[in-house]
C-alpha cells in the first residue's frame, strides 16, 4: 500500500514556521505582512477558500484585508481596487480570486497587479522569471507540490517527471520547477496520445487535469510518487440527497496499490496551496522591504 503524504499536517507545520518568521519580522523590523484578497461575486466554493485564507492569514500574525465586490462589478472597478492595493504600503500581497465573472477579463486584472505583490505568481513577469530562472514569486500550488516532493524524495535529480495538465496556474509552472530541480520533464494533457503509457514512465506523476479519478492505478509505475492536484466536487448521494464530496484526478483506491506514496484529496495539495500563499506573502513582504527572506529563522 502506498504511503499517504499528509498535506494537512505538512501545511500546519509550514504555517507554524511562517508564524515564527512573521513574529521575527515584527519584532526586528516593525513590519506586519498584509495580504489582500479580492472576491467578486458569491461563488460558494470561492467563499469557502476565501474564508479559510483569511482565517489562516490572521493565525500566522499577518493582516488580512478582504474586499468583496458584487457579481455585477465591472472591470474598471476591479482595476481601480487593484491600483489602490498596489499603492497601499500595508498590503504586501494581492490575490484576486479566480474565476472572475464573465464581464471581467482576468488577464487585464492579473496584468494590473504589481508583480512584487503578486503572491499567486500569475503575472506574466513572474511567469517569465520562473521560465528563465529568475527570482520572482512562484504559483502556490506548484510550490506546495515541490515542497512535498523534496520532503519525500530529497534530491529529484535525474527522475522522470510527468505532469498531466498544462494550465498556466499548475501544469506549466510546475514543469518549470521540476526542470529546475533536474528532472526529465514530460508535459502531457487530455489530447496526449497513449496517456497511460506516458504516465507509466513516471517516477513522479502529477495529475492536474481537472477530471475526477481519471488516472488509474495501472497507469502508475510501481513505487512512483503521485501528486494529485485535482479538486473535483462530485455528487455523493450516499451522504444524503444533494450532498457532494471532493475527489482528485487520481483514482485513489487503485492508485494506492501501485504508488510508493500519494497525496490524498482532500488533505493533500489543497492545504499546502494556502500555506504557500502565506509563504509567498512573507517572501513578498521581505523583498518589498529590501530584506532577504532566507535570513529569517527556519524554526
Ligand atoms: N487567485 C486564485 N488563487 C488561488 O489559489 C485559487 C483561486 N484563485 N481560485 C480557486 C482555486 C482553488 N484553490 C484551492 C485552495 C485550497 C483548497 C483546499 O484547501 N482544499 C482542501 C479541501 C477544502 C474543501 O473541503 O472544500 C483539501 O484539498 O483538503 C482547495 C482549492 C485555490 N484557488
Ligand atoms: Mg486539457
Asked, for residue 289, whether it belongs to a domain, the answer is no
Domain that holds residue 226: 140-269
Q: What pLDDT was estimated at residue 181?
A: 98
pTM: 0.97
User: Which atom of ligand 1 lies at the shortest distance from residue 8's CA?
Assistant: 29
- Active site positions, annotated: 53, 97, 120
Q: How far is the CA of 167 from the centre of ligand 2 (A)?
A: 8
Distance CA 291, CA 299 (A): 18
Is residue 299 part of an annotated ligand binding site?
A: no
> How far is it, in rounded angstroms, from Cα 76 to Cα 17?
38
**Ligand 1 atom with minimal separation from the 98 CA:** 8
For residue 266, give Cα distances in angstroms to 6, 30, 44, 241, 297: 10, 37, 17, 21, 30
148 and 101 fall within a common domain: no
On whether both 145 and 60 belong to a single domain, the answer is no
d(CA 166, CA 186): 11
The answer to whether residues 237 and 144 belong to one domain is yes
Q: Which three cell numbers stand for residue 40?
A: 467578486
ipTM, two decimals = 0.96
pLDDT on residue 299 = 56
CATH number of 68's domain = 3.40.50.10860
DSSP, collapsed to helix, strand or coil, labels residue 5 as coil
- Asked if residue 4 belongs to a domain, the reply is no
Cα separations (Å) of 67 from 36, 105, 129, 227, 274?
7, 18, 29, 32, 18
Nearest bound ligand to the CA of residue 164: 2
The verdict on residue 145 lying in a domain is yes
Residue 9 domain-assigned (yes or no): no
Comparing C-alpha atoms, which of 236, 237, 215 is closest to residue 226? Answer: 215
Give the atom of ligand 1 at the shortest distance from the alpha carbon of 266: 29
Any domain includes 1 = no
Within this chain, do residues 167 and 221 fall inside the same structural domain, yes or no? Answer: yes
> What's the structural domain count of the chain?
2
- Ligand 1 is surrounded, with C-beta below 6 A, by 48-49, 95-98, 120, 140, 231, 246, 265-267, 270-271, 273-274
pLDDT along the chain (299 residues), means of 10: 97 98 97 98 90 97 97 98 99 98 97 99 98 97 98 98 98 98 97 97 98 98 98 94 95 98 98 98 98 85
Residue 42 confidence (pLDDT): 86
Which set of grid coordinates corresponds to residue 28? 526586528
Residue corresponding to grid cell 485564507:
53
Ligand 1 centroid, distance to 79 Cα (angstroms):
23
Amino acid at each position: 500500500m502506498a504511503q499517504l503524504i499528509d498535506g494537512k499536517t505538512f501545511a500546519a507545520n509550514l504555517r507554524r514556521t511562517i508564524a515564527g518568521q512573521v513574529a521575527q519580522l515584527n519584532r526586528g523590523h516593525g513590519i506586519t505582512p498584509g495580504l489582500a484578497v479580492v472576491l467578486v461575486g458569491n461563488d460558494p466554493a470561492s467563499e469557502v477558500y476565501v474564508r479559510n485564507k483569511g482565517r489562516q492569514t490572521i493565525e500566522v500574525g499577518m493582516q488580512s484585508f478582504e474586499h468583496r465586490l458584487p457579481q455585477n462589478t465591472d472591470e474598471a472597478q476591479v482595476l481601480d481596487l487593484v491600483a489602490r492595493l498596489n499603492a497601499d504600503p500595508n498590503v504586501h500581497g494581492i490575490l484576486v480570486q479566480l474565476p472572475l465573472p464573465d464581464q471581467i477579463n482576468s488577464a487585464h486584472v492579473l496584468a494590473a497587479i504589481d508583480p512584487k505583490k503578486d503572491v499567486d505568481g500569475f503575472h506574466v513577469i513572474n511567469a517569465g522569471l520562473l521560465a528563465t530562472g529568475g527570482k520572482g514569486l512562484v504559483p502556490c500550488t506548484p510550490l506546495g507540490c515541490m515542497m512535498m516532493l523534496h520532503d519525500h524524495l530529497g534530491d529529484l535529480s535525474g527522475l522522470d517527471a510527468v505532469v498531466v495538465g498544462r494550465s498556466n496556474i499548475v501544469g506549466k509552472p510546475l514543469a518549470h520547477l521540476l526542470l529546475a530541480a533536474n528532472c526529465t520533464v514530460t508535459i502531457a494533457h487530455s489530447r496526449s496520445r497513449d496517456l497511460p503509457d506516458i504516465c507509466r514512465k513516471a517516477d513522479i506523476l502529477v495529475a492536474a487535469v481537472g477530471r475526477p479519478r481519471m488516472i488509474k492505478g495501472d497507469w502508475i509505475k510501481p513505487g512512483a510518487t503521485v501528486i494529485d492536484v485535482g479538486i473535483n466536487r462530485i455528487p455523493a448521494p450516499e451522504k444524503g440527497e444533494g450532498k457532494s464530496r471532493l475527489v482528485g484526478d487520481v483514482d485513489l483506491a487503485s492508485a494506492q496499490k501501485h504508488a510508493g506514496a500519494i497525496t490524498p484529496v482532500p488533505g493533500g495539495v489543497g492545504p499546502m496551496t494556502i500555506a504557500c500563499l502565506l509563504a509567498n506573502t512573507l517572501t513578498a513582504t521581505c523583498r518589498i522591504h529590501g530584506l532577504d527572506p532566507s535570513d529569517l529563522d527556519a524554526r
